[in-house]
Amino acid sequence: MFTIRELLQPDSTREAYQLLQTEAGARIIAGGLFLRLSDRLTIDKAIDISGLGLDRIEEMEDHFQIGAMVTLRDMETDKALNSYFSGVLGKSVSGILGVQFRNMASIGAPVAARYGFSDPITALLALDTSVELEDAGTVSLETYLSDRSIKKDLLKYILIKRDNSKAAWQVLRNSETDFALINAAVSRSGNEVKITVGARPKCAELATGAMEALASSEWNDSDLEKAADLAAEELSFGTNRLASAEYRKDMCRVLVLRALKEVRDAD
């Protein structure tokens, strides 16, 4: 049984944020796809943020600004966005269920809620990404994901600095359209590299040891293998119904190595 007692439709992000603070039992509804996933759900006050103009991908002076209500399908098909970073953002969302689902699911929700299983968070974290929140202002995505003191805020935009880095996307699923049992992304600009691994099943994190090791290396096959081993060693993995920690660790090594080779050979 699913119940919304009252639907609030604010006219501005400020108003939406204030409702979230002052109304007991208030929750933000973005794409709304989680609504069908529990058998019993009652929301006293649902704050609908679909009318706030947050549904556009815009090319600003030095970055892309992606509204929280931009759909995964828009991210998948946006030509300007996917002409950067080897199209990694489009690739990271293209395997999420069907086109109908992606036409509804928003990019803001998984990021705001820091969903561990998220594919796009892993890709976003491999780029120079920040989030713009109504109250806390602009913080890096890395800070947002790790600083749990930022809560009950309203995520407005995802900001991605435009640069010429090459990027690669890797994901492992039991079957197409299923959740990732592990995913990885790599971006490279010159010798600077970012390696992220997500769905461990915890949320994406940077493999900083592996990144540092590669910064001063030649990028030959054995350097990349060492970096992939380092990433698998330094990150933590857990067990859930999709996969065991051991399997995830082994597959982390494989996916990171493939992604590293892909960005190296893209040059």
Partner 1 sequence: MQINITINNEDRTFKVRPDEFLADTLRKNGYKSIKRGCDKSSCGACTVLLDGKPILSCSFLSVRANGHAVTTLEGEREEAIKLGSLIIKEGGDQCGFCTPSLILTTIALKRENAKPTDEEIKHYTNGNLCRCTGYVPQLKGIKKYLGVE
Q: Which residues bind partner 1 (CB under 8 A)?
A: 2-7, 29, 32-33, 35-37, 43, 46, 48, 50, 73, 94, 97-101, 103-104, 176-177
Question: How near is the Cβ of 242 to partner 1 at its closest, in Å?
Answer: 16
Residue type, 99: V
Distance in angstroms (rounded) separating the CA atoms of residues 66 and 56: 6
Distance in angstroms (rounded) separating the CA atoms of residues 265 and 13: 44
Distance in angstroms (rounded) separating the CA atoms of residues 172 and 182: 6
Distance in angstroms (rounded) separating the CA atoms of residues 193 and 174: 29
161, 127 Cβ separation under 8 angstroms: yes
Judge if the upstream peptide bond of residue 201 is cis by omega within 30 degrees of 0: yes
94, 68 Cβ separation under 8 angstroms: no
Question: How near is the Cβ of 174 to partner 1 at its closest, in Å?
Answer: 15
C-alpha 14 chain-centroid distance? 24
Identify which of residues 69 and 112 has a Cβ nearer to partner 1 in the complex: 69
Identify which of residues 5 and 14 has a Cβ nearer to partner 1 in the complex: 5
The tokens for 93 are 């969302």
Identify which of residues 3 and 12 has a Cβ nearer to partner 1 in the complex: 3
Question: How near is the Cβ of 37 to partner 1 at its closest, in Å?
Answer: 6
Question: How near is the Cβ of 94 to partner 1 at its closest, in Å?
Answer: 7
144, 131 Cβ separation under 8 angstroms: yes
Question: How near is the Cβ of 178 to partner 1 at its closest, in Å?
Answer: 10
Can you give the C-alpha Rg of the chain in angstroms?
Answer: 19
Identify which of residues 32 and 87 has a Cβ nearer to partner 1 in the complex: 32
Question: How near is the Cβ of 183 to partner 1 at its closest, in Å?
Answer: 18
CA quadruple 105, 206, 172, 160: dihedral sign: positive
Identify which of residues 32 and 116 has a Cβ nearer to partner 1 in the complex: 32
Distance in angstroms (rounded) separating the CA atoms of residues 93 and 124: 11
Identify which of residues 39 and 62 has a Cβ nearer to partner 1 in the complex: 39
